[in-house]
Amino acid sequence: MIIYRKEKIMSYVMSLNLTSIPKVPYLADNLADKKKQKQKEEQQQEQEEEQEQEEEQEQEQEQEQEEEQEQEQEQEQEEYPNPEEENPNPEEEKKKKKKKEKPEEDEIWVELYYRLFFGRYLFLGRALEKQPADQIMKSMIYLNQEDQTKDFMFFISCRGGGMLQGVAVYDVMQFVTGDVFTSGYGLNASMGAFLLHGGELGKRVLSINGRMMIHQPHMSPYDRRRHVESGSDAEFISRLRTYILNTYIERTRQDPELIESLLERDIFLNSEESKAVYLIDEIGVEGMGLDLKNLSLFYANHDNHLMGYSNHENGL
């Protein structure tokens, strides 16, 4: 019976049309396709990454080549400068050089002024206004307090200036205890001539090509001060003119009428004429050097000046 049933089942199964049954896709095929797709995607990514790396390497190589070319060009320009392309921006190069040279130059100039100041060498090379007048007076008073036995050397090239400033500097020159050697060069006019003649008698020098111009004091026609009245101005000018006239007469020991005539108008005197009326005592550097041996001009006593210089630096 059992065998019969099995045969019956088998015959029934064989009689079925299996072709009409839809086929179910095999899972293994799907997995294989997915693997292939992943592999393709990975290969594409790898290729893209390789391309990016190659591009980066090419860019780096190009940059290196450009830098090498620039360095070679700079070396060639240094070795064989092209006159046409040399100094493309001369102003910038000058500024750079000035910046490099400025600190050294500043140090040199500071040391030079320092030595000249403590060597008692004073200079006036411009119009006598308030600022230079104050500097000269302060320097004279300070140095006189430091040592009242040493003399001063005052170099003057002044075309004029304020009357009040000129008289103030002259008064300080007479106040200090050391002798004031005055040496004029170029043109010394008006207050410049007054200061030049105001040095120590016998120690006033004018260069061979130097000139002096003296005249009576006057107010500037461009003075616009509203608080000054014409009457007080006239009285002040009269007193100042009398003071300057008496000073010239006293120091030159000339006839008052001669000095008055010289002050009436602008009179230009060369070195010989200036010496003839005793506005100066010597002409040229030779005459000045004979009287300045004790002053150690140009640091003849070098050790003494260096000692003084170091003492001032150390605050002694």
Q: Check residue 225 and give its pLDDT.
A: 53
Rounded Cα distance, 255 and 284, in Å = 26
Q: How far apart are CA 78 and CA 89, in angstroms?
A: 16
**Annotated catalytic residue 227:** no
Note the pLDDT of residue 84. Answer: 47
Of 157, 183, 190, 271, which is the active-site residue?
A: 190
CA distance 281 to 288: 9
- Strand segments, DSSP code E, in the chain are 121-124, 152-156, 180-184, 187-189, 204-206, 211-214, 267-270, 282-283
Instruction: Let me know if 197 is a catalytic residue.
Output: no
pTM for the model: 0.57
CA distance 248 to 243: 9
Domains and their CATH numbers in the chain: 113-215+226-313 (3.90.226.10)
Q: Which of 139, 215, 296, 305 is catalytic?
A: 215
What pLDDT, on the 0 to 100 scale, is given for residue 312?
Answer: 43
CA 231 to chain centre: 47
Question: How confident is the prediction along the chain (316 residues), in pLDDT tens digits per residue?
Answer: 666 666 777 776 666 655 555 555 555 556 677 777 888 888 888 888 888 888 888 888 888 888 888 877 777 666 555 544 445 566 666 666 655 555 666 677 677 788 888 889 999 999 999 999 999 999 999 999 998 999 999 999 999 888 889 999 999 999 999 999 999 999 999 999 999 999 999 999 999 999 999 987 766 554 555 444 455 667 777 888 889 999 999 999 988 888 888 888 888 999 999 999 999 999 986 655 544 444 444 344 344 444 444 444 444 4
pLDDT attached to residue 70: 82
